[in-house]
Structure 1
C-alpha cells in the first residue's frame, strides 16, 4: 500500500538524537542579551544587559528549583516617562529544518501589563511564536509571521487549536477577511497551556518539531509529560494531535531559515492595551500608568526554565 507524503514523514521522524541542552548554571551562556527599549510600539519596558540583570537579581540559576530565573523588575516605582527593566535573550545558535526542540518550563510571566513570549525569528521575516499571551490571559496564542506569499492550509483539522487566520505575510491581504488575528494564528482553548493555571501545576513541556513538511507544536502539562520525553527518547508519533500544525503546502519553506530562539517579557504595547478591559486589570489606570507605578504587580512576571533540549531528526 502506498503511503502519502505526510504518513511517510511520520514513519521517518521516529528517530531523534539529542545534540544540545541549555540548562543549569550555564543556561544564559547560550544567549545574547538585548539592551534597548522594546521595539514594539507603546511598550513601557527597557531590556537590560546580562551584567545589569544579574546585579538587579533579574536573572540567576535557582539551584533548589533547578531552573533558570528571568524576571521583570518588581521593586521599583518608575517615574513618569521612564521604563521598567525587563530581559530579552536570543539564542547564539540558529535552527533549521530537522530540529525537535523540547522546552521544559516551570513558570511563565503573568499579570496585568505583561506580554511574555517564547518564539523564533530568522531570515525572510520568518517568525514562529509558540508561547505567547498578555495580561492575565489563560490560554496560549501561537502565530506565524512571514514576508509576502505565505498562507496556512485551509484544512486545519489535524490540530487541536482553533485557527484564526490563514495569512502569514505581514503585508498581504487577510484571509479570511476581516481577519480575526494578525498572522497565521492559532488559539488554544486550554487553560493549562498559559497563565495562572499553567503556573499552578508547575508548567510543562512545549515541543516544536520542524521537518521538511512543516511545524508541529505539542504541549504537555507537568503531570502529563510523556515518559519518552523524560527519558530523552522523544517519539512524536505517540503524542497525538498537536496544538498547532503548520504545513508548507501553501507556504514555501524558504520563509523559515536560520531561526533563533527568543525569550522575553515586554510590558504594555498594542495587544495588552487592547485586552486591558477584558483582563480584570485596574480600570482607573492605563496600562502605562500601572506598569510604572505598581512594582508589586510584577511579582509573578518571571520565567523559570528547567531546560531547553535540541534533538536532530535522523530522518529529515
Structure 2
C-alpha cells in the first residue's frame, strides 16, 4: 500500500510511489534545450528536504511530524529501485479535539527561479474523502513571490487542478491549453484566494484513476514568458523524457498554459518544492457537504478523518 511514490530513471518498476524528481535548467549546448540541474531520488531523496512541523497554514486537521518521527512511524521510507514512500497515520483513531492526523510536509532545501521540473509519480494520496494532497512550489514572502500548484485536489476528486497564486495584477488568458479554465485572476487577495486555475482534460490525472493507471509524469516548464504544465499517463511518457533529453517543444499542447496579462518574473522567484498531505481545512473541509461521495459519510470532514484511520491506508 502506498501514498506519494516516485520512481527512478523512468524504469519499469512502476507499482511504487514517488520515483524521481528531476529539475533541469537551460542547456549550454546546442544539442538539447535543457540539461540536468538536480536529481532527487532514492536513499538521498529526503536529505534534500526540510520537514515542516509548524501549524498548517490551510487550517487542516493535521499534525505534521519531524523527519525522525516520520521515519520511526513509517511515514517516509526509501523503496527499491530508487523510489520513495510518503504516507500518513492510518492506524490511530482520534478525538475531533486532537491536533490532527499525523502526516508529512516536506519543502526542498534548494530553491529555483525558472526551469523544467519533471516528477515521475506512481501513486498519490488523492481520491480519498478528507484528504488534500499537493505537489507545489512557492517563494518567500507569499504571495509576492508566487505559488505554483502542479498536482492538487480534495476528497473524491478525479481531475487535477493546477493553480497560480500571486500578488495583484496577474491574470491568465486560458488559451493554448487542453485543460478547462476555472478562474483567471491569480491575485491571492481576491475570490477567497482561489487563484487562477484550470482543471485537467485527462481522466487519469488525479486520485483513484491516476493510481489505477500506475501514475505518470508531471512536467512543469517555468520561463520568463509563461508557466506550462503537462501530464503524461504511464503509457504515454515521451521518449525524450525517458532518454533524459526532455524537449517541451515536442510535447504538444500543455494541460495548463499560465500566460496572459502577467509579468512572470515580477510575480515568481526563488521557489521551494513541496509535497504534503493535509486533511479537511480551508478546501477539503469547506466543500465536504457538497461532495456526493463524501458528505454522507460523516457530519463533518474532521469527524470522518478522526474516526476512520483505515480509510487512509492508501494516503
Whether the 8 Å CA contact 2:138–2:148 is kept in 1: the answer is yes
Whether the 8 Å CA contact 1:113–1:267 is kept in 2: the answer is yes
Structure 1 unmatched ranges of 5 or more: 1-11, 302-316
After superposition, give the CA deviation of every residue in 1:243-280 in whole Å (9 maximum; x if it has no partner): 01112643352110101101100100132123324241
Q: Secondary structure at the match of 2:183?
A: coil
Structure 2 unmatched ranges of 5 or more: 1-29
RCO (CA 8 Å, sep 6+): is it higher in 1 or 2?
1
Q: 1:52 pairs with 69, 74, 95, which one?
A: 69
Q: CA deviation at 1:189?
A: 3.5
Q: Secondary structure at the match of 2:172?
A: coil
Whether the 8 Å CA contact 1:145–1:170 is kept in 2: the answer is yes
Do residues 293 (structure 1) and 313 (structure 2) align?
no
Please name the residue that 2:136 is paired with.
119
Q: 1:215 pairs with 227, 250, 258, which one?
A: 227
Q: CA deviation at 1:171?
A: 2.0
After superposition, give the CA deviation of every residue in 1:58-113 in whole Å (9 maximum; x if it has no partner): 0001116x41100010011112311110000000111112x111000011102110
Q: CA deviation at 1:37?
A: 2.7
Please name the residue that 2:177 is paired with.
159
Q: CA deviation at 1:125?
A: 4.2
Please name the residue that 2:166 is paired with.
146
Q: CA deviation at 1:218?
A: 0.5
Aligned mates of 1:214, 1:80 — CA distance in 2: 43
Whether the 8 Å CA contact 1:144–1:184 is kept in 2: the answer is yes
Please name the residue that 1:281 is paired with.
294
Q: Say if 1:279 and 1:27 are closer, same or farther in 2 by CA, change over 3 A.
A: farther
Aligned mates of 1:60, 1:214 — CA distance in 2: 35
Whether the 8 Å CA contact 2:145–2:270 is kept in 1: the answer is no
Please name the residue that 2:205 is paired with.
193
What do you get for the CA RMSD once the two structures are aligned? 1.9
Q: CA deviation at 1:190?
A: 2.3
Q: Secondary structure at the match of 1:258?
A: coil
Please name the residue that 1:16 is paired with.
34
Q: CA deviation at 1:157?
A: 2.6
Whether the 8 Å CA contact 1:135–1:279 is kept in 2: the answer is no
After superposition, give the CA deviation of every residue in 1:19-45 in whole Å (9 maximum; x if it has no partner): 21000111101100011231213x211
Do residues 263 (structure 1) and 279 (structure 2) align?
no
Whether the 8 Å CA contact 1:96–1:259 is kept in 2: the answer is yes
Aligned mates of 1:245, 1:194 — CA distance in 2: 18
